[in-house]
């Protein structure tokens, strides 16, 4: 592998792409330490510690690589772009005009991407204004602080969106994914420090520490296997004669991925579970406050069994919901019928659609259970060992997925140049 990296670095054009990508990621990390005026970074850190990593602001801090806790210009990271992309994807399915535009080819996709950028700016400004209103304890009040903070946060998100597009055009890998990847990986020293402190103060012993490391390695291997796993449906195309030539007769397959929904179900589920505690924290109510609200918050706190069970069920629901939004068995069956394809042993049309739906449902169940276990694993670790590692299943899935995607793209560049790559 290291020999392959050496050979890849020896290629001038590929070396420029790698160097360009690294430089833009470094710019992102530098910006994560530039503070925003009229904000108290120490008070922000204290607020995040009191709210916990499972709150909405804790999730923002995770995706920003600690930039949110430091009250910097990239505090909102690229989350408004992710939200706008999801919204546009759902609208494309719900609105026929957008669906037709997407099928127009490159021009249609360019228009949808342009609207996604505009929506990102709108969502970023709304989110920045919401943060200004919500974070009263850590911000100065007034028109000037409001304008400075909202414009700075919005501009920071727009700049990160531009960085991601530059990586897509001139670098290696998906720019937006790499920015999120860099933010999550930057928290690794914090995780190591947390484990070290837990060992020093006696929270865990040597065997417990080795067990956590072994569990992390097993999790990474499992994510790699599940990320590439798919169920292939064999498709046969009928032969037809046009003039003196024979067309069709070939055999292909429809790949159905186990993790077709990706990390979206985990993000949705964690956001819903974090919403009550986040709103309550703004009013000074916590799980230790007592009363009705305090009792409810203690039930849905990350260190409770109820939180783990509800999160697991929500992930299964959102996995099915998002998968069947992306993959329509009826549409797939109709497309196969129009092109003369069929599944062996099944009639085209409704029987094919029902069989595809059944297969997708079974495959999605396996992927949903895996995502659920992956998401609640840090909570289970916290319940049994009282150690909060600070990196959840969503982080592991994103990091591994982005690493595999970037590796495959680098591999494809090397295959073109007749070099042996990572996948051999």
CATH of the domain at 90: 1.10.3370.10
Residue 383 lies in a domain: yes
Look up residue 154 and give its two tokens: 């919005």
For residues 179 and 208, membership in a common domain is answered with no
Look up residue 49 and give its two tokens: 């510690």
Residue 338 lies in a domain: yes
Which of 127, 117, 119 lies closest to 154 in space, CA to CA? 127
Last residue of a domain, one of 124, 156, 187: 187
Residue 415 lies in a domain: no
CA–CA dist 204, 211 (Å, integer): 10
HSE-up (13 A, CA, CB side) for residue 53 = 22
pLDDT recorded at residue 419: 47
For residues 178 and 214, membership in a common domain is answered with no
Q: Show Cβ contacts of residue 211 under 8 Å, excluding neighbours closer than 6 positions.
A: none
Residue 225 lies in a domain: yes
User: Angle at which helices 56-63 and 264-282 pack, to 10 degrees?
Assistant: 130
For residues 147 and 128, the answer to whether their CB atoms sit within 8 Å is: no
CA–CA dist 45, 68 (Å, integer): 9
Q: Distances in Å between the alpha carbon of 230 and those of 56, 224, 367?
A: 32, 12, 10
CA–CA dist 289, 268 (Å, integer): 27
Q: Show Cβ contacts of residue 15 under 8 Å, excluding neighbours closer than 6 positions.
A: 8, 9
Residue 395 lies in a domain: no
For residues 143 and 275, membership in a common domain is answered with no
Q: Show Cβ contacts of residue 2 under 8 Å, excluding neighbours closer than 6 positions.
A: none
166 exposure class (CB count in 10 Å sphere: 0-12, 13-18, 19+): middle
CA–CA dist 201, 287 (Å, integer): 25
For residues 129 and 269, membership in a common domain is answered with no
For residues 17 and 68, membership in a common domain is answered with yes
Radius of gyration of the chain from Cα atoms? 24
Look up residue 142 and give its two tokens: 């007034």
Which of 176, 187, 182 lies closest to 83 in space, CA to CA? 176
pLDDT recorded at residue 159: 93
Residue 412 lies in a domain: no
Residue pointed to by tokens 């995780």: 191
For residues 141 and 180, membership in a common domain is answered with yes
For residues 24 and 122, membership in a common domain is answered with yes
Q: Distances in Å between the alpha carbon of 238 and those of 243, 344, 345, 349?
A: 16, 11, 13, 15
Backbone angles phi, psi at 35, to 5 degrees: -75, 155
Domain that holds residue 251: 201-390
Series of mean pLDDT values for 10-residue runs along the chain (424 residues): 64 82 90 83 71 62 73 84 82 80 78 89 86 76 87 91 89 83 80 76 75 81 84 78 60 83 78 69 61 68 78 88 83 81 82 88 90 80 63 74 79 64 49
Number of domains making up the chain: 2
For residues 167 and 243, membership in a common domain is answered with no
Letter string b/e over residues 93-112, b meaning 16 or more CB atoms within 10 A of that residue's CB: eeeeebeebbeeeeebeeeb
CA–CA dist 329, 350 (Å, integer): 10
Residue 150 lies in a domain: yes
Q: What is the DSSP annotation of 155-174?
A: HHHHHHHHHHHHHHHHSSS-
For residues 212 and 160, membership in a common domain is answered with no
Which of 346, 323, 324, 326 lies closest to 336 in space, CA to CA? 346
Look up residue 325 and give its two tokens: 């939004």
For residues 231 and 278, membership in a common domain is answered with yes
Which of 400, 414, 402, 412 lies closest to 5 in space, CA to CA? 414
Look up residue 412 and give its two tokens: 């494809």
For residues 174 and 241, membership in a common domain is answered with no
Residue 420 lies in a domain: no
For residues 171 and 209, membership in a common domain is answered with no
Look up residue 109 and give its two tokens: 């996709």
């Amino acid at each position: 592998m290291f020999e392959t990296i050496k050979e890849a670095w020896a290629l001038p054009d590929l070396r420029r792409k790698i160097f360009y990508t690294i430089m833009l990621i470094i710019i992102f990390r530098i910006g994560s330490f530039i503070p925003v005026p009229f904000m108290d970074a120490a008070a922000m850190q204290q607020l995040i510690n009191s709210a916990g990593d499972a709150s909405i602001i804790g999730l923002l801090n995770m995706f920003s690589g600690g930039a949110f806790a430091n009250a910097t210009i990239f505090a909102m990271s690229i989350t408004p772009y992710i939200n706008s992309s999801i919204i546009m994807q759902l609208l494309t399915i719900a609105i026929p005009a957008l669906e037709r535009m997407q099928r127009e080819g490159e021009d249609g996709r360019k228009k949808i991407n342009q609207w996604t950028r505009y929506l990102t700016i709108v969502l970023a400004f709304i989110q920045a204004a919401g943060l200004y209103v919500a974070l009263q304890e850590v911000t100065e009040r007034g028109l000037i602080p409001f304008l400075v903070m909202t414009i700075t946060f919005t501009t920071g998100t727009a700049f990160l969106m531009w960085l991601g597009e530059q990586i897509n055009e001139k670098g290696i890998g998906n720019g937006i994914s790499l920015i999120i990847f860099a933010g999550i990986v930057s928290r690794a020293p914090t995780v190591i420090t947390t484990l070290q402190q837990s060992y020093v103060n006696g929270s865990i012993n040597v065997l417990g520490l080795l067990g956590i490391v072994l569990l992390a390695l097993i999790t990474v291997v499992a994510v790699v296997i599940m990320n590439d796993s798919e169920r292939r449906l064999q498709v046969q195309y009928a032969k037809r004669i046009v003039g003196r030539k024979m067309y069709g007769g070939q055999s292909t397959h429809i790949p159905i991925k186990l993790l077709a929904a990706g990390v979206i179900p985990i993000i949705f589920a964690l956001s819903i579970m974090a919403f009550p505690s986040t709103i309550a924290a703004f009013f000074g109510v916590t799980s230790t406050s007592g009363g009705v609200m305090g009792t409810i918050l203690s039930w849905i706190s990350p260190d409770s069994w109820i939180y783990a069970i509800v999160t697991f069920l929500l992930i299964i629901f959102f996995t099915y919901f998002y998968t069947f939004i992306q993959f329509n068995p009826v549409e797939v069956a109709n497309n196969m019928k129009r092109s003369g394809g069929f599944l062996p042993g099944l009639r085209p049309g409704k029987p094919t659609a029902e069989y595809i739906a059944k297969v997708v449902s079974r495959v999605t169940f396996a992927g949903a259970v895996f995502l659920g276990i992956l998401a609640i694993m840090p909570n289970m670790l916290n319940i049994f060992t009282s150690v909060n590692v600070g990196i959840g299943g969503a982080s592991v899935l994103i990091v591994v997925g982005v690493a595999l995607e970037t590796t495959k793209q680098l591999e494809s560049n090397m295959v073109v140049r007749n070099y042996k790559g990572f996948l051999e």
